[in-house]
Amino acid sequence: MERIITVANQKGGVGKTTTVVNLAAGLARLGHRVAVIDLDSQGALTISLGFDPYTVRPSTYNILLDQGSTFSEVLREARQRIHIAPANAELIAADYKLYNEADRTSRLIEALQHPRQPFDFILIDTPPNLGLITVNGLVAAGELLIPVAANYLSMRGVRSLLDSVWLIRERLNPRLKLLGVLPTMVQPKAPHAKSAIYEMQTVFKQKVFHSIIPYDHAAATAPALRQTTLEYAPSSAVATAYLHLAKEVSNAN
């Protein structure tokens, strides 16, 4: 059964895109068929998988704004067992253009419901805000994964995010559930790291993933080379952590 997972956090710089691209790579390595959807106008996910967000057409903008566009038309093969619906700079205007549309929160899920090739997982990367593009990602998903950097300010952002998420679940998508909270950018020797993870575990209990993503320069370097971290530095601590996360996600449910 296909699982649609949106990765979201209204705070930027917490590892959303890094998580999407490397979770996809890990799931593909486990033999799953994966599609990733880039809903961020910055196109970092698109770049990481080898496409140019300034020139790629069609894109997720077309899924959201051109009602004749289908998910299959936008998809491109990025790796063995990984396809991407890429983003381009046109997405900058998508929130504004969607505002007056009656179905402004359901464009993505409508596109996903057209006949198409099946996937085991669809992973959705969202921008660092709670605008209409992110809401489309949350309405389309069955599960929510929240990356949280191991610091105090990131934890504060999660609580306000979840208030909005539960409102969306109540009014727009009763299927949506919290898959898990993922500690990211963890520096084991930093004095605040253990306390931040402890707070996550206190608040979210069993919903905190066992996998903990360490801070690692490899994760920052890989996108510039159009690679996943699992490709660029397969023996690194961060690649190992994302492979463990893929196993956790695969075994959930």
pLDDT tens figures, 54-79: 999 999 999 999 977 889 999 999 99
Report the CATH number at residue 233: 3.40.50.300
Largest CA distance in the chain: 53
Q: What is the CA radius of gyration of the chain?
A: 17
3-state secondary structure of 223: helix
Q: Is the dihedral of CA 111, 115, 117, 119 positive or negative?
A: positive
- Average confidence score pLDDT of the chain: 94
pLDDT tens figures, 139-197: 999 999 999 998 867 777 788 888 999 999 999 999 999 999 999 999 877 778 888 89
Amino acid, single-letter form, for residue 64 = L
Residue whose tokens read 């996998």: 211
Closest CA to 49 of 230, 234, 218, 243: 230
pLDDT tens figures, 35-45: 999 999 999 99
How many domains is the chain partitioned into structurally?
Answer: 1
pLDDT tens figures, 5-27: 999 998 888 999 999 999 999 99
138 pLDDT exceeds 90?
yes
On whether the pTM is more than 0.95, the answer is yes
3-state secondary structure 97-156: HHCCCCCCCCHHHHHHCCCCCCCCEEEEECCCCCCHHHHHHHHHCCEEEEEEECCHHHHH
Phi, psi of 187 (to 5 degrees): -105, 100
pLDDT tens figures, 78-114: 999 999 999 999 999 999 999 999 999 999 999 999 8
| Distance, CA of 86 to CA of 108 (rounded, Å) | 14
Question: Which residues form the domain of 193?
Answer: 3-251
| Distance, CA of 60 to CA of 232 (rounded, Å) | 27
Whether the upstream peptide bond of residue 58 has omega within 30° of 0, thus cis, is: yes
